[in-house]
Amino acid sequence: MTRETLQQAYNEIKDQVHRTPVLQSRLLNDKAKAALFFKCENFQKMGAFKMRGALHAIQKLNKEQKQKGVLTHSSGNFAQALSLAAKNLGVRAHIVMPDNAPQVKKEAVSSYDGNIYFSQSSANAREQKSEELLRQFGYSFIHPSNDIHVILGNATAAIELLEEIPDLDILITPVGGGGLIAGTALAGHFFGKTSIKIMGAEPKNVDDAYRSLQLGSIQKNNNTATIADGLRTHLGDVNFPIIQEYVSLILRVEEKDILSAMQLVWERMKIVIEPSSAVAVAAVLQHQEHFKNKKVGIIISGGNVDLSALPF
């Protein structure tokens, strides 16, 4: 892995993604006692950074693989990202979804021409259904977070941020499956200054990444009781070694602090961010000892929120 590997990933997708804005807020700077730079992937196509990884992973396939199509299992942002990325590249995307997935998620995938296969809702049933389809049709499987080309695509958000603010002291992202923080860590290492620190933010209720780094092996969550629905998953064998090498700290936050960070950003910055993104903002506000007087890049991972089910 070199700087050139990342630069090439960026060159391959940059014409297919929005260069999202980097926003600042004086009020949030005052509250955090730091200079915060929000990389707004909520303004990315389909509303999340996952578009970057999905695009890059599809582009790395050969012609025959592209003709056969791609498959993932996800009911969240990656299902939409893979569907839209595939559509934009003239490839067919197939999504395995639990049959009890919310109607709004099914419609989102369908609106991007993703082809849905239903499975029962257990992880086992989902994986079995996927394997069956892969055997039968020869689709290429693309994991939402544990795939090196997805990780390299995700890295491009931080590459853009570092192009604008080269001297960041800290980069922080929310941590779910580990694909965003792994990519961001690589970008920080190869494009940031030598002393840059990479941090992750996790809800205390699903602190699998925190425990994984402590124990040196991938841990899972026994419950999924967090509003940050994008962060309930666990790390994988591709991204965990990267995280072990380059991430210095995982900060954990309470549910109430996630909510108030989300409300603060909506009310004062006038942008819609999803709960998972608010986890990173909450970490910066709640653990000020790590950020005081620093230049901090925060990856706002997405803005897909169901307004009919708001927690305020």
By CB under 8 A, the residues from 22 to 61 that bind a second copy are 42-43, 47
Give the orientation angle of helix 77-88 with respect to helix 103-111, to 10 degrees: 10
Does residue 263 touch a second copy according to CB under 8 A?
Answer: yes
242 membership: H or E segment, kind and range: helix 239-246
Yes or no: say if 36 and 284 are a contact pair by the CB < 8 Å rule: yes
Does residue 15 touch a second copy according to CB under 8 A?
Answer: no
In the bound state with a second copy, the residue whose beta carbon lies nearer, of 125 and 272, is: 272
From 50, 60, 106, 197, the catalytic residue = 50
In the bound state with a second copy, the residue whose beta carbon lies nearer, of 239 and 304, is: 304
From 45, 60, 75, 106, the catalytic residue = 75
Residue count, binding to a second copy (CB under 8 A): 17
Does residue 226 touch a second copy according to CB under 8 A?
Answer: no
CB atoms closer than 10 angstroms to residue 59: 17
Does residue 223 touch a second copy according to CB under 8 A?
Answer: no
Binding mask 280-309 for a second copy (x = CB under 8 A): -----------------------x-x-xx-
Give the orientation angle of helix 179-191 with respect to helix 239-246, to 10 degrees: 50
Starting at the edge strand found earlier in the chain, the sheet holding 170-174 runs: 22-23, 35-40, 295-300, 170-174, 197-203, 247-253
50 catalytically annotated: yes
Radius of gyration of the chain (CA): 18
Conformational region of residue 91, where left means phi above 0, alpha means psi within -120 to 50, and beta covers everything else: beta
- Shortest CA distance to 309 belongs to which of 103, 118, 111? 103
75 catalytically annotated: yes
Report in angstroms how near the CB of residue 48 gets to a second copy at its nearest.
10
In the bound state with a second copy, the residue whose beta carbon lies nearer, of 50 and 290, is: 50
Does residue 76 touch a second copy according to CB under 8 A?
Answer: no
Q: How many residues does the chain have?
A: 312
Please give the full DSSP string across 181-210, using - where no structure is assigned: HHHHHHHHHHHS-TT-EEEEEEEGGG-HHH
Contact with a second copy (CB under 8 A) among 1, 8, 19, 21? 21
Contact with a second copy (CB under 8 A) among 117, 118, 141, 266? 266
Report in angstroms how near the CB of residue 250 gets to a second copy at its nearest.
27
Contact with a second copy (CB under 8 A) among 272, 286, 294, 295? 272
Q: Which residues are known to be catalytic?
A: 50, 75
Applying CB under 8 A, the residues found at the interface with a second copy are 21, 42-43, 47, 263, 266-267, 270-273, 303, 305, 307-308, 310, 312
